[in-house]
């Protein structure tokens, strides 16, 4: 009998072990950690830049950025004055817990109320990787099609909140926002829903209130 090695299982078990360690570290530091996931271009960085700017006086917030290459997003975040670390995953299409653990010495956790982790833009495998976060927030935009939640259900199942962004574009699109949110709820009824636009400011107050309530 040839020996079968279950690579995926082993990799994920190892990841969960590191993530559990991270979760303890985050709890000890009293920092609330959110893992933002979406397809590329949904608007994660734009939402973070806006949030960091608007809540600057209320909370101490830091960011870990994940992209395959470049520090473009970290530069956008740094312009707000918030501390930021960029992880370049090179060939990997998601962040894993060991990458976050490696970046952690660069982050002053005790000085933070919130740590946002912007994952690599990808609606598939980031769903399988626990980063020790309090919760995942899945961002979808009005330009993506209403049925993404049923096409990529795992991401919507493992997330605690769904943010529909770019609502300012709705008048120009055939996108049905109610149908999209119903689609998300059909996959995961527990998802906390947000509809907002970073451009017009619509819906941001609800997002900020929810964040404020998550503070440890
Ligand atoms: N009209 C509009 N454009 C947005 C909004 N949020 C983000 N964008 C644009 O969408 C593009 C991708 O945004 P980005 O934050 O880089 O997405 P990410 O890849 O998820 O980080 C950029 O050109 C943003 O200016 C929004 O609320 N309204
Ligand atoms: Mg980004
Ligand atoms: Zn991946």
Q: Tell me the pLDDT tens digit for each residue of 65-97.
A: 999 999 999 999 999 999 999 999 999 999 999
What is the token pair recorded at 193?
A: 């829903």
CB 96, CB 15: distance < 8 Å: yes
Average pLDDT, the chain: 97
Q: Whose CA is nearest to atom 6 of ligand 1?
A: 43
123, 39 contact by CB (below 8 A): yes
With a 6 A CB cut-off, is 166 part of the ligand 1 pocket?
A: yes
Paired residues of 163 in beta bridges: 139, 194
pTM of this prediction? Answer: 0.96
Confidence band for 64, pLDDT divided at 50, 70 and 90: very high
* Cα 169 to averaged position of ligand 1 atoms, centre (Å): 11
* Percentages of the chain per state (helix, strand, coil), in multiples of 5: 45, 20, 35
Burial of residue 170, with CB atoms counted within 10 A of its CB: 0-12 exposed, 13-18 middle, 19 or more buried: middle
- Beta bridge partners, 36, equal 118, 137
What number does the ligand 1 atom closest to the CA of 42 have?
20
Containing H/E element for 46?
Answer: helix 44-54
Q: How many CB atoms lie within 10 A of CB 178?
A: 9
Q: What is the pLDDT of residues 2-39, one digit of tens each?
A: 887 777 788 899 999 999 999 999 999 999 999 999 99
- What distance in Å separates the CA atoms of residue 51 and residue 96, rounded to the nearest whole number? 24
The atom number, within ligand 1, closest to the CA of 121 reads 19
Query: What residues contact 15, with CB distance under 8 A and at least 6 apart?
Result: 96, 97, 98, 129, 130
State residue 2's pLDDT score: 84
Percent of the chain exceeding pLDDT 70 equals: 100
Distance 8 CA to ligand 2 centre (A): 27
Range 7-214 has CATH code 3.40.50.300: yes
């Amino acid at each position: 009998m040839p020996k079968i090695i279950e690579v995926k299982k082993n990799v994920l078990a190892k990841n969960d072990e590191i993530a559990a360690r991270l979760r303890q570290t985050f709890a000890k530091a009293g920092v609330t950690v959110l893992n933002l996931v979406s397809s590329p271009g949904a608007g994660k960085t734009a939402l973070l830049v806006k949030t960091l700017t608007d809540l600057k006086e209320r909370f101490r917030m830091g960011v870990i950025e994940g992209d395959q290459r470049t520090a473009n997003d970290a530069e956008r975040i740094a312009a707000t004055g918030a501390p930021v670390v960029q992880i370049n995953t090179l060939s990997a299409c998601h962040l894993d817990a060991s990458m976050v653990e490696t970046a952690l010495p660069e982050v002053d956790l005790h000085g933070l109320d919130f740590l946002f982790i912007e994952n690599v833009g990808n609606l598939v495998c980031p769903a399988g990787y626990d980063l020790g976060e309090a919760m995942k927030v899945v961002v979808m935009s009005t330009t993506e099609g209403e049925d993404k939640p049923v096409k990529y259900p795992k991401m919507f199942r493992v997330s605690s909140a769904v943010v529909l962004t770019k609502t300012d574009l709705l008048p120009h699109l055939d996108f049905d926002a109610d149908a999209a949110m119903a689609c998300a709820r059909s996959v995961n009824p527990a998802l906390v829903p947000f509809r907002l636009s970073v451009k017009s400011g619509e819906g941001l107050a609800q997002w900020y209130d929810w964040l404020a309530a998550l503070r440890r």
